[in-house]
Amino acid sequence: MERIWLKQYPAGVPADVDVTRYTSLVELLEESFSKFSDRKAFICMDKSISYRDLDEMSLALAAYLQSKGLQKGARVALMMPNVLQYPVSTAAVLRAGYTVVNVNPLYTPRELEHQLKDSAPRRLSFWRISQPPCSR
């Protein structure tokens, strides 16, 4: 198969990734937090968070999740649109030692019921509409 997307890669971006370089996704994230701490990690509606912000906020949320007594590997459902809270929540769940269950906020009630029954999460985190988008 011709990988035509490789033509769009900037110079220095490898075509293949060594999947044995990291023992976990958390290890990759933590290296990135350290290596790129002053760079913007995500931008949403003219708001941004740096890798340092992502590191600090996800550590705080991970500690909170762990304080709730979930067992390692517990499934935590995240039901959010594309907002800055999503990468923070995802990193936090992974750093806490849990499993992320992505839930589409546009699911119908029937689809949501099926997703939650199938994945059996121990916690559900969602973005409230009353919450300003991309707020800290």
The reply to whether CATH 3.40.50.980 applies to domain 23-126 is: yes
Cα–Cα dist 24/72, whole Å: 15
Identify the pLDDT of residue 126.
62
What's the rounded Cα separation, in Å, for the pair 133 and 42? 13
Q: How far apart are CA 66 and CA 76, in angstroms?
A: 12
Banded pLDDT at 123 (limits 50, 70, 90):
confident
Q: Per residue in 63-118, pLDDT tens?
A: 999 999 989 999 999 998 889 999 999 999 999 999 999 999 898 999 989 998 99
Task: Report the relative pairing of strands 123-126 and 40-44 from DSSP bridges.
Answer: unpaired
Q: What percent of the chain has pLDDT over 90?
A: 71
